[in-house]
């Protein structure tokens, strides 16, 4: 197992770093050494910089929305006395659905932009005109498609994490708080939320990492990530790097982009850990 891990992970990472320092085109063999030229070329590429903006906006939407929805559902399910396992399973089932399958369902059925599409049909009940959800014109309605898709796919998983944290809180603490007059939102703010601190920090970290690694929904909703059905490109850094490495077969530039994205994820994680105290003991 250790040999396999070393060959297929650590050796692959090291080889990818060497590729990022060379002009490797059409082959993963090390080519002409170019030093940091791939990194400077990538950062000077406007398409790559635009993809960074896209992923930052996407992260700003999806992280707080998923966090709040998962915590809210966990609080509701935690109050269920009968059939809790059934309710929990119902919310957890979407996490087993492929991102590709869900993306195609959202694109071809729910938000296909046709008058007969589900979203436009529901809007028509309230007098709204059909709208092209996936066009990259103003207003950018495609953000609704992206956020609802990712929310449906992952909210159940994080709900289970919060539910595990809630079940780990001793009942006696809440009973004592009730005797002291803490109820409702005051109970949640002063007792429940502080005791969920470790779970909340872990969920935030996982949400940030998952958001920066977004690929499938952008790739499948927007014509392989090359462009939307409007005029502006809609892609994440991973989609851009995939098109660069696999489409243009510029593996040196693609490898450089992979390390830039990794550095971004590590940086955000470290900043989050600095502000939330992740990894520090309670003492």
Q: What is the pLDDT of residues 203-216, one digit of tens each?
A: 999 999 999 988 88
Average pLDDT for 42-59: 88
**Number of domains the chain contains:** 1
Mean of per-residue pLDDT scores for the chain: 84
| Assigned domain for 183 exists | yes
Alpha-carbon distances, residue 44 vs 23, 32, 47, 226 (angstroms) = 17, 21, 9, 19
Residue 14 lies in a domain: no
Which residues fall within 8 angstroms of residue 227, CB to CB, at 6 or more apart? 136, 233, 234
pLDDT, tens digit (0-9, with 9 covering 90-100), for 78-131 = 888 777 788 888 888 998 999 999 999 998 889 888 888 898 899 889 888 888
pLDDT band at 238 (very low <50, low <70, confident <90, very high): confident
**Which residue is listed with tokens 């003492």?**
283
Assess whether pLDDT exceeds 70 at residue 283. no
Q: Rounded to an integer, what distance in angstroms lies between the CA atom of residue 184 and that of residue 217? A: 38
In a domain, 21, yes or no: no
Kindly tell me if the per-residue pLDDT of 282 is higher than 70. Answer: no
pLDDT of residue 135: 78
Of 157 and 34, the one with more pLDDT: 157
Pairwise CA distance, residues 65 & 157, whole Å: 14
162/164 Cα distance (integer angstroms): 5
In this prediction, residue 224 carries a pLDDT of 58
Residue 283, domain member (yes or no): no
Q: In which domain, by residue range, is 139 found? A: 35-276
Enter the tokens of residue 111.
């938000």
| Alpha carbons 65 and 73: distance in angstroms, whole number | 12
What's the CATH code of the domain at 183? 1.10.3720.10
Domain assignment present for 9: no
- Does 18 reside within a domain? no
Question: Is 30 contained in some domain?
Answer: no
| 154 falls within a domain | yes
Strand 32-33 to 22-23 pairing: antiparallel
Distance CA 257, CA 243 (A): 11
Q: Which residue has the higher pLDDT, 280 or 276?
A: 276
């Amino acid at each position: 197992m250790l040999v396999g891990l070393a060959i297929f992970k650590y050796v692959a990472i090291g080889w990818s770093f060497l590729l990022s320092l060379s002009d490797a085109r059409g082959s993963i063999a090390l080519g002409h050494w170019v030093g940091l030229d791939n990194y400077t070329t990538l950062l000077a590429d406007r398409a790559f910089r635009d993809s960074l903006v896209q992923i930052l906006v996407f992260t700003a939407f999806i992280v707080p929305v998923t966090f709040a929805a998962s915590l809210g559902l966990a609080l509701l399910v935690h109050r269920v006395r009968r059939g809790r396992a059934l309710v929990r399973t119902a919310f957890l089932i979407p996490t087993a659905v492929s991102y590709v399958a869900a993306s195609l369902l959202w694109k071809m059925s729910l938000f296909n932009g046709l008058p007969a599409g589900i979203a436009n049909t529901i809007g028509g009940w309230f007098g709204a005109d059909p709208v092209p959800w996936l066009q990259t014109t103003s207003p950018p309605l495609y953000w609704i498609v992206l956020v609802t898709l990712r929310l449906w796919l992952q909210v159940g998983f994080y709900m289970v994490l919060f539910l595990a944290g809630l079940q780990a809180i001793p009942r006696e603490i809440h009973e004592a708080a009730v005797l002291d007059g803490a109820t409702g939102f005051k109970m949640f703010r002063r007792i429940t939320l502080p005791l969920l601190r470790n779970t909340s920090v872990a969920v935030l970290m996982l949400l940030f990492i998952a958001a920066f690694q977004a690929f499938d929904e952008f790739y499948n909703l927007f014509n392989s990530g090359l462009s939307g059905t409007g005029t502006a490109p809609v892609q994440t850094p991973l989609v851009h790097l995939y098109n660069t490495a696999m489409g243009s077969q510029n593996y040196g530039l693609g490898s450089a982009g992979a390390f830039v994205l990794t550095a971004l994820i590590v940086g955000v994680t470290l900043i989050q850990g600095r502000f939330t105290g992740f990894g520090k003991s309670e003492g």
